[in-house]
Amino acid sequence: MVAPSIAATEPAAAGKTTMNALVPVFVAGLIAGVLTTGLPQDPQAKKPEPVDLGNFSVSLAVKDIKSSRAFYEKLGFTEVAGDMKQNWIVLKNGTTKIGLFQGMLPRNTLTFNPGWNSAKETLQEFQDVREIQRVLKERGVTFQLEADAKSEGPAFFQITDPDGNPILVDQHVAKPKR
């Protein structure tokens, strides 16, 4: 058995050996970075189409809309839309909006409204719900409910995220004129 040399057991020597082993890895990474960033880019390469889902709110499936409203009012929310007689209202606190829906939704739902800003004002330019649906289909998204691609007025579709959360994209205004 050969005893290890004193130099190999010293921390400075061990660090130097490790650094020497990393030099080829660093150089290879540097060369790969220089080569790939220096390659000409294909001007015809298609960039991913944007998706602008519009105004966002959370739609809550509530058991008792009156007690839910009272609870959220304690948190500083105020009613800005809806109809208690129809079992739905929208509450706002700053720029945050939540909808309370009794007996209308099976689960809490993420809701997006193309064509509206946060004040529920119709935008002149926006991405139509049918266009959003087309892009998402091209990306392989599965739909639970689909908008009629041939329609022109208000429409909606529903998808579900990988954790089972429903996402409703609900456009209340006509398709933008272009």
- Of residues 146, 64, 169, 63, the one with CA closest to residue 107: 63
User: 46-58 burial by CB neighbour count: b if 16+ within 10 A, else e?
Assistant: eeeeeeebbbebe
Please tell me the predicted confidence (pLDDT) of residue 154.
96
Residue-wise pLDDT for 89-113, tens only, equals: 999 999 899 999 999 999 999 999 9
Other C-beta atoms closer than 10 Å to the C-beta of 14 total 12
Please tell me the predicted confidence (pLDDT) of residue 177.
77
**Segment-wise mean pLDDT, segments of 10 residues, the chain, 178 residues:** 50 58 55 50 68 95 98 97 97 95 96 92 94 96 96 95 96 85
Give me the architecture of the 55-171 domain, per CATH: Roll (3.10)
- Of residues 142, 111, 141, 116, the one with CA closest to residue 127: 116
Please tell me the predicted confidence (pLDDT) of residue 41.
55
Sequence ranges of the domains in the chain: 55-171
Please tell me the predicted confidence (pLDDT) of residue 36.
46
Return the structure tokens found at 63.
């058991």
Please tell me the predicted confidence (pLDDT) of residue 48.
83
Please tell me the predicted confidence (pLDDT) of residue 14.
57
Please tell me the predicted confidence (pLDDT) of residue 109.
97
Please tell me the predicted confidence (pLDDT) of residue 34.
45
